[in-house]
Structure 1
Amino acid sequence: MTRVAIVGYGNLGRGVERSLKQNPDMTLVGVFTRRAPESVATEGAAAYTMDELLQKKSEIDVCILCGGSATDLPVQTPEITKNFNTIDSFDTHANIPEHFAAVDQTAKENQTVSIISTGWDPGLFSLNRLYAQSILPKGETNTFWGKGVSQGHSDALRRIKGVADAVQYTIPNTEIIQKLKSGEKLDLETRDKHFRECFVVLQDGADAEAIKEEIVTMPNYFADYDTDVHFVSQAELNRDHKAMPHGGTVLHTGTTHEKTKQVIEYTLQLDSNPEFTASVLVAYARACARLAKEKQFGAFTVLDIAPKYLSPIDDATLRKELL
C-alpha cells in the first residue's frame, strides 16, 4: 500500500483525490494546504496545514505536489523533496532542465526520489515524441494542443496583479495538421500551430490595457503566440468557461524507404484536463515509491521510468496479458 499526501488542493488536487479512490493499492493520508484546513471542501480526505506535513513524515511514502508551475513548484518541489519523495507536474517546458537540476541535487543529497514534469504534456506526449523519433529517425514531429483549457496558462493569468479570475484556451490550427498528415513539408513557427484565447475577470479598479499588454508579452506563455484577451464578468466566466476539457495530438510523419510514408499519431480527448493529469500523477506516484524502495535516489522524468513501474500488476501477468 503506497501512502500518499496531496500538497495543494485546487482542481488538480481534487483530481488526485478522485484518482486515488480508483487505485486500491494506494491510500490517501490527507490534503496539506496553505489555506485554513476547515475551509477546504475535500471529498472525504482529512485536511491539514502545511506546517503539519513534516509531522506526518513517517506516515507518507509520496507527496503529490499540486501547485502551479509559475511560482509554486519551482520553490515547493526542491523544498519538500528534502524530506519526502515527490511527484510534480511542472510544465514550463523551457525551464524543465533548470528545475530538474535543482530537484536532482536536493533528492540526491537527502536520499529521496522525485519525478518531475509528470502529466500528459510534459509527460505522456514526451514519451510519444521519444518513441516516434527513435522509430522513424527520418521524420518530423509536431505537437498540437487543444482545443481546451490550459491549467498552467490559466494559473499564470490569475497570478497577474489586478486579475480576479481567468481561463485560457489553447486552439490548434487544424488546417496545418491536415497539411502535415498529407505529407506537406512546412516551415512552421510557434505561432503558426496554435492560437491562444483568454477570458479575464478584472478586480475593481484594475487597468485593463496594462493587464492585456502584460498577458500578450508574457514570456514562455503568450509572447510567442497570437493571443486574444476578452474581459468578462465573473458571472459570464462561471457560466461559460468553468468546464475544463482539453486534449491534443503528437504527430510524427516520416519515411522508411524512399517515398514510403509512415505516420505516427497519438491523440488525447479529455473531458477533464485536471482529472486526467491527476491520474497520470497517481500512476507515477506508484513508480516513485518503488524507486525509493530500490534506493534509486535523485530526480527522474517520464523518460527515465520503465512502464511496468506504473502498474499495480506483477511482471508475469503483464507479460501474459499485455504483450
Structure 2
Amino acid sequence: MEPIRIGILGYGNLGRGVELACAANEDMQLMAVFTRRNPESLTLLTPGAAVVAAAELEQWTDKVDVLVLAGGSATDLPQQTPEAVRLFNVVDSFDTHANIPQHFAAVDAAAKETGHIGVISVGWDPGMFSVARLYANAILSGGADYTFWGRGVSQGHSDAIRRIPGVADARQYTVPVPAALEAVRAGKNPQLTTREKHTRECYVVAEEDADTDAIREAIVTMPNYFADYDTTVTFISQEELNRDHAGIPHGGSVIRTGTTGQNGENTHVIEYSLKLDSNPEFTGSVLVAVARAAKRLADAGETGCRTIFDIAPALLAPQTPDYLRAHML
C-alpha cells in the first residue's frame, strides 16, 4: 500500500512534532514543509523532504494527500485552514474553544466547495479530552464535568502572548488550583468558576524599551485567554527563559462525577488524564493519526468539515479491523 503523503504548513515546535510523528509511522511519508520563512533557513530531520515557500502551496496539490496545519489559533488558523482546505485535505489543532463553531462553519463551507475533508481542533484539548468528555457524559447522564489543565506550558496561550507588540518571547503555564482538584476527585461536585479552577503564570521577555505595563495589561485583559483567570506576569531575560523554561510539558485531567441507583446512592468518578513531557510532540502525534483518518474519509468520497467526534476510532489506527478486534477489543 502506498504511504500517505503528508505536508506540514509551519515549522515551529508543533511542526517539528508532526515531522517526528510522521517518521514514527510506517504508513506516512513527509513530502514537504511549507514555511513563511526563507526556505533555505530551515533544516529538516527527514531526508528527502522538501522545504517550500508557503506561497507555493498550490503547486503541491497533486503531491500531498493531507496537509497538517501547525500554526497558532490566535491569528494563523482562522485564515489558513479555510484557505488551505480549498487545495488539500487538511487537519488543524485550532484550540480556541469559544470560536470552534465559527471555525467549523468556515472550513465546512470551503471544503464542500472543493470536495475536500477538513478535520479541525485536533490535539489533546480539544481532541482526546473532548472524546473523554463525550464518552463520560454518555455513560453518566446525570453528573458534573470538570477539566483541569497542567501544570504545563500552553502553546496556544504562549503564542498569543508573543503576538503582543513589544514581546520578544514568552512561556505561559496553566496551573490547577489544588483545592479544587481535590474536591472534584473526592466526588463533592463543587460549583467552580473558571477563576477557581486554574491560575495562569506568564514569563515574558520584553523587547528593548518596550512598555511592560502595556504588555501586562494586554495579557491580563485578553479575552478567551487570560481575562477570566488570576494571571501573574513576570518579566525575565531571554537567558532566563532559555535556562528555566526550555521544555514544553503539559497534561491534565478530564473528570466526570455522577450517581446511579434508584436514589442516587452510588457515586462514580470517571477520570482520563495525560502527563506529557512534550506538548507539541504529543499533539503532533494526534494530528498524524487524524491525518490517516482524513485520508480514509477522503478516499471514501466524503467532503466537508469534521471534528474528533465524527472520527470512528478504527479510522485512526494503522492496523486492520481484524487486528483491532483480535488485539485491542
**TM-score > 0.5 by shorter chain:** yes
Matches within 5 A, 1:5-44: 5-44=7-46
CA distance in 1: counterparts of 2:186 and 2:235, whole angstroms: 39
1:266-286 CA distance string (max 9 Å, x none): 000000000000000000000
Question: Is 2:255–2:269's contact at 8 Å kept on the other side of the alignment?
Answer: yes
Aligned to 1:273: 279
Of residues 153, 176, 182, the one that matches 1:178 is 182
CA distance in 2: counterparts of 1:188 and 1:42, whole angstroms: 45
- Give the TM-score taking structure 2 as reference length: 0.97
CA distance in 2: counterparts of 1:126 and 1:296, whole angstroms: 23
Matches within 5 A, 1:1-323: 1-44=3-46, 45-257=49-261, 258-323=264-329
CA distance in 1: counterparts of 2:45 and 2:179, whole angstroms: 42
Residue 79 (structure 1) shift: 0.3
CA distance in 2: counterparts of 1:161 and 1:107, whole angstroms: 34
Residue 223 (structure 1) shift: 0.1
Give the match's secondary structure for 2:222: coil
CA distance in 1: counterparts of 2:189 and 2:326, whole angstroms: 42
Give the match's secondary structure for 1:186: coil
1:120-163 CA distance string (max 9 Å, x none): 00000000000001100111110000000000000000000000
Give the match's secondary structure for 1:119: coil
Q: Which moved more, 1:44-53 or 1:125-134?
A: 44-53
- Look up the equivalent residue of 1:181 and give its one-letter code: R
CA distance in 1: counterparts of 2:135 and 2:189, whole angstroms: 21
1:21-66 CA distance string (max 9 Å, x none): 1100110001000000110132134211112221121111000000
1:208-255 CA distance string (max 9 Å, x none): 111101100000000000000000000000000110000000011111
CA distance in 1: counterparts of 2:316 and 2:6, whole angstroms: 15
Question: Is 2:170–2:202's contact at 8 Å kept on the other side of the alignment?
Answer: yes
Q: Which moved more, 1:183-192 or 1:119-128?
A: 183-192
Q: Which moved more, 1:293-302 or 1:183-192?
A: 183-192
Q: How much identity, in percent, do the aligned residues show? A: 59
- Give the TM-score taking structure 1 as reference length: 0.99
1:304-323 CA distance string (max 9 Å, x none): 10000001111111111111
CA distance in 2: counterparts of 1:53 and 1:109, whole angstroms: 18
- Look up the equivalent residue of 2:23 and give its one-letter code: K
Residue 259 (structure 1) shift: 1.5
Structure 1: segments with no counterpart, 5+ residues: none
Q: Which moved more, 1:256-265 or 1:273-282?
A: 256-265
CA distance in 2: counterparts of 1:229 and 1:277, whole angstroms: 26
- Look up the equivalent residue of 1:146 and give its one-letter code: G
Question: Is 2:189–2:257's contact at 8 Å kept on the other side of the alignment?
Answer: no
Give the match's secondary structure for 1:227: strand
TM superposition outliers: structure 1 runs of 4+ over 6 Å: none
Q: Which moved more, 1:57-66 or 1:169-178?
A: 169-178
Residue 175 (structure 1) shift: 1.6
CA distance in 2: counterparts of 1:264 and 1:242, whole angstroms: 33
CA distance in 1: counterparts of 2:43 and 2:28, whole angstroms: 21
